[in-house]
Structure 1
Amino acid sequence: MAAIFATLVGGAMPAIKEFGFNFIFSTRWDPINFVFGAGNALYGTLVSSLIAVILATPVGIAIAITLSELMPKWISYPVSIAIELLSAVPSIIYGMWGLFVFAPWFANGPQLWMLEHFSGIPVIGTLFGGAPLGQGLLTAGIILAFMILPILTALIKDALKTVPNVLRESSYGIGANTFEVITKVLLPSIKSSIFGAFILALGRALGETMAVTFVIGNSQNVSSSLFMPATSISSTIANQFNEADGLKMSSLLALGLVLFVVTFFVMGYARIQLRKGRA
């Protein structure tokens, strides 16, 4: 970890000296005039990752509860394996599926519906404006949600297994129904683990490259609309690394350094929360 960090710092030093701390917040990415900033890519990375965890977390909680508490074992076991197999699918396959299958369907169906029903609402309407292109921040977030769902489900399911059966039995014994046991006993018992799983999944989404590159649109612009094309740190590096040299190469390494630092702290915080949940 120290060697990777040192390598990134050394490679990014020319960009750091040239642009300083303003590099993180600048939204200008102009290779012609050799002016670079991480603002656009950082915005796309954070927003698409937040969309992913917001969508995937309630689904992951519901699936974990269903598998652990509601389904018989002869059904839950193969379903658990099927969900875990989603994590074995290469990210480029998710990206290709998202570009050729999901994005056209999303543009011609849900995006048109959201434009019709949400675009006129104050404040919220700005998030769902623009042309229904299929590719964009929202599409990238949904694809990422599919990718992080297995890790969320597995972590929450394991956390549920750590809850002593005596808590379930005593709750049923005093007359609680299944819904009350789940909402008032089980979920409060593992809330730290759920939060840790949330942050850990966020860290997984932050670093995703190929799937996001296919569906985010790869536009160096910041828009309030979730439908519009954007970029992320990983997709910017993947698209431009081969042709980069000099200050542009250093700026791409600086982007990698920003992503490294953000992901490191997010994952570290998640590990701390998970340990608290197991304590």
Structure 2
Amino acid sequence: MNSEKITKNILFIASLTLILLVSGMVLTLVGGAIPVFEKFGFQFIFSSKWDPTEGKEQYGALPFIIGTVITSVLALLICIPFAFSTSLFIGEYYKGTYFAKIIGLLVDLLAGIPSIVYGLWGFYYLRPFIVEMGNDSQGFGIFTSSIILAIMIIPYATSISTEIISLVPNNLKEAAYALGATRLEVITNVTIPVARSGIIASYILALGRAIGETMAVTMLIGNSNLIPKGIFSLGNTMASVIANQFGEADGLKKSALIAIGLLLFVVTGFINGIGKLIIKKFA
């Protein structure tokens, strides 16, 4: 057997293993979620009731879906201006300088900090600051957790965007300069259009990180099982409710939490699918 055939077989086995792992994960989640869907049907997705009282059990995922969407989208909206500006600074204006390398190193270091550290920082330093702003929920809530999420995903979006911007061919920019374009015109008419799909991809990856984040959000969001009434309200996300309650759950409640995990899986896949469509459109 030649080396090319061996390599092909290894790659096939690796790909098949990945498919089997994902399939096994999906089947496990579906199997665990069946009891709650049998009892409540798809109303489970749209119900806002979460009552684990024995004999009166009512479970609905809507508060956690809404909490996840609000915190993640708000975090992304906060992230984009900072990530975009920093990536242009490192990858275009100061590209190749020691200062840009130092900033890039700091960005990479921030990306590697465990989420629990961000959660602790937010709990002890950001939360009191939010309280001083007049927040009635003592600093806990959607807004506080969204800020922490934004701080967490900015390094990811910045790092990827910087790499994409740095890969824009110099000959395209030099041609624009030769025609008399200013740096701002080169950035807006050459760099950004060429790197657009990659920049969008970086934000989609950052959004995926925000959606699945658990510990930092759990420490700050307030862990309320009600639909949030505003960005300063207490709330909960799909990931945080699973982390908080799965350890002591059994029976129908355990099935409900597994179903929320399945929904989180579906939501993440849906967002990634939309991201691919956007990238394909602007590529």
**Is contact 2:141-2:232 (8 Å) kept?**
yes
The DSSP-based 3-state class of the residue aligned with 1:226 is: coil
The reply on whether 1:179 has 2:171 as its aligned counterpart is: no
1:17 matched residue in structure 2: 38
**TM score, norm. by length of structure 2:** 0.87
**Is contact 1:220-1:231 (8 Å) kept?**
yes
Question: How far apart are the structure 2 equivalents of 1:35 and 1:11?
Answer: 17
Question: How far apart are the structure 1 equivalents of 2:161 and 2:117?
Answer: 26
The DSSP-based 3-state class of the residue aligned with 1:15 is: helix
**Is contact 1:200-1:271 (8 Å) kept?**
no
Name segments (4+ residues, structure 1) moved above 4 Å.
271-277
Question: How far apart are the structure 1 equivalents of 2:43 and 2:204?
Answer: 27
**Is contact 2:215-2:240 (8 Å) kept?**
yes
Displacement of 1:50 after TM fit? 0.2
Which of 65, 68, 78 is 1:45 aligned to?
68
How many residue pairs end up in the alignment?
Answer: 259
Displacement of 1:151 after TM fit? 1.3
Which of 78, 93, 113 is 1:70 aligned to?
93
Deviates more, 1:137-146 or 1:158-167: 158-167
2:136 matched residue in structure 1: 131
Q: Where in structure 2 are the equivalents of 1:217-228 lying within 5 Å?
A: 217-228=222-233
Q: Where in structure 2 are the equivalents of 1:75-86 lying within 5 Å?
A: 75-86=99-110
Displacement of 1:94 after TM fit? 0.8
Deviates more, 1:73-82 or 1:182-191: 182-191
Q: Partner letter of residue 58 of structure 2?
A: V
Displacement of 1:269 after TM fit? 4.2
The reply on whether 1:144 has 2:149 as its aligned counterpart is: yes
Question: How far apart are the structure 1 equivalents of 2:106 and 2:281?
Answer: 29
Question: How far apart are the structure 1 equivalents of 2:151 and 2:75?
Answer: 8
2:81 matched residue in structure 1: 58
Gaps spanning 5+ residues in structure 1: where? 113-129
2:48 matched residue in structure 1: 27
Q: Where in structure 2 are the equivalents of 1:92-131 lying within 5 Å?
A: 92-108=116-132, 111-112=133-134, 131=136
1:126 matched residue in structure 2: none
Q: Partner letter of residue 121 of structure 2?
A: W
Identity, % of aligned pairs?
A: 41
Gaps spanning 5+ residues in structure 2: where? 1-21
**TM score, norm. by length of structure 1:** 0.88
**Is contact 2:63-2:228 (8 Å) kept?**
no
Which of 194, 208, 216 is 1:211 aligned to?
216
Displacement of 1:181 after TM fit? 1.5
Question: How far apart are the structure 2 equivalents of 1:154 and 1:267?
Answer: 19
* More relative contact order, 1 or 2 (CA 8 Å, 6+ apart): 1
Question: How far apart are the structure 1 equivalents of 2:208 and 2:24?
Answer: 21
Question: How far apart are the structure 1 equivalents of 2:222 and 2:23?
Answer: 33
Cα RMSD between the aligned structures? 1.7
1:125 matched residue in structure 2: none
1:162 matched residue in structure 2: 167
Question: How far apart are the structure 1 equivalents of 2:270 and 2:108?
Answer: 26
Question: How far apart are the structure 2 equivalents of 1:272 and 1:193?
Answer: 13
**Is contact 1:48-1:140 (8 Å) kept?**
yes
